[in-house]
Homo-oligomer: A and B are copies of this chain.
Amino acid sequence: MGGALAIRPSAALLSDLFLSSHHRVLLRCRNNSIHLRTTASPQQPPRRRLATVSPMASAYKPDEARVPPALQLPTPPVTKFKIALCQLSVIPDKERNIAHARKAIEEAASKGAQLVLLPEIWNSPYSNDSFPVYAEDIEAGGDAAPSFAMLSEAARSLQITIVGGSIPERCGDRLYNTCCIFGTDGKLKGKHRKIHLFDIDIPGKITFKESKTLTAGEHPTVVDTDVGRIGVGICYDIRFQELAMLYAARGAHLICYPGAFNMTTGPLHWELLQRARAADNQLFVATCSPARDTGAGYTAWGHSTLVGPFGEVIATTEHEETIIVEEIDYSLIELRRSNLPLGNQRRGDLYQLVDVQRLNSQ
């Protein structure tokens, strides 16, 4: 961290210093001032270090490259399981979209999927005009949230985990782009409201401003499920590498990004960003797009994909409606982290990524 405060104690004495977080305090006297310097604490549990250590390695402080220090990767409840990516067609008929998604989830489960991922905005056309019309009041529930209710029921009756893509959510006078995560008991385990709104302007190609109608979420989302610790981002969230870094430091095995890239940014960046997040953070990344509808106002790129912790594409598809069912093997995470021990090689003496909410919660 290295935040430096200079405190000039005119009539003051500092008698005791206590630590409220992971910081220790170095106290220096210079001129008439007392300088406090905060640094990450050496009392944090030590992590594995590289066997071969270079002469200056003690200065590198890899643990401090994440503030608070990165959590150990938790042991997942299952090592191998099947994930399904349901690349659904979406039409301007909410009732049909819900029934259609229900059928796809059932098919995925029948093929052995223990985790089902749906696309971004799968119950509504992707447009600022549609968001208010198709939005559901998740907190009110019942008739006010039929998409939500279907996902909960499907998860419970099929005993699977569902990362429910996203739907427009109404909460008071605000709208969000929201992903609900359901456990095998059908209960809501977490809710991710898109943190980074899709406001881009590539003249002649694609201009869109989600912020015209939507409000951005206020929290990163990591959920412990029966199929491991899952971080969630929605579409444009994937462009912000900090979010994936933060999820990795919170011990995620897998990051799920429901997303509807378009015909411009799709070929440019969709696979690139997924593979980069997976390889840089040495974890699994799964994405799920709506199927392409060239008649729609917003044309989705498709190409839902599963990427392994070496940045390798494990499964992908074109743009038509389809369901990918593929195995995830979490033992690959440990393998790749032993091949390339990036976590022990980071230079906490030079750069540090701060997870603000995790830090403040300590």
Report A's interface with B, CB cutoff 8 A. 1-21, 23, 25, 33, 35-36, 38, 50, 52-57, 59-60, 65, 67, 174, 195-197, 199-202, 209, 211-212, 214-216, 218-220, 239-243, 245-246, 268-269, 272-273, 275-276, 279-280, 310-312, 338-342, 345-357, 359-360
Output the least CB separation between A316 and chain B (Å). 15
Pairs A–B under 8 Å by Cβ, sample size 15: A2-B359, A2-B360, A6-B19, A6-B20, A8-B17, A8-B18, A9-B15, A11-B13, A13-B13, A57-B216, A195-B350, A241-B245, A242-B351, A268-B310, A348-B356
A340 and B239 contact, CB distance less than 8 A: yes
B357 and A350 contact, CB distance less than 8 A: yes
Output the least CB separation between A302 and chain B (Å). 19
Nearest opposing residue in chain B for A21, CB measure: B4
Q: Which residue of B5, B33, B239, B280 is within 8 Å of A241 (Cβ)?
A: B280
Output the least CB separation between A41 and chain B (Å). 11
Q: Contacts A5-B19, A13-B11, A16-B8; is A276 near B272 (CB within 8 Å)?
A: yes
Nearest opposing residue in chain B for A25, CB measure: B5
Q: Contacts A5-B19, A342-B240; is A356 near B349 (CB within 8 Å)?
A: yes
- Main SS of chain A's interface residues? mixed
Output the least CB separation between A47 and chain B (Å). 16
Q: Which residue of B6, B60, B202, B354 is within 8 Å of A1 (Cβ)?
A: B354
Which of A1, A202, A350 counts the most chain B CB atoms within 10 A? A350
Task: Specify which chain B residues have a CB less than 8 angstroms from the CB of A218 in the assembled complex.
Answer: 56, 59, 349
Q: Contacts A350-B356, A352-B356, A353-B352; is A14 near B9 (CB within 8 Å)?
A: yes
Q: Which residue of B6, B7, B346 is within 8 Å of A242 (Cβ)?
A: B346
Output the least CB separation between A241 and chain B (Å). 5
Q: Contacts A50-B199, A209-B52; is A2 near B351 (CB within 8 Å)?
A: no
Nearest opposing residue in chain B for A200, CB measure: B340
A55 to B212, CA, bound (A): 9
Q: Which residue of B10, B214, B311, B346 is within 8 Å of A54 (Cβ)?
A: B214
Q: Contacts A239-B340, A245-B241; is A20 near B5 (CB within 8 Å)?
A: yes
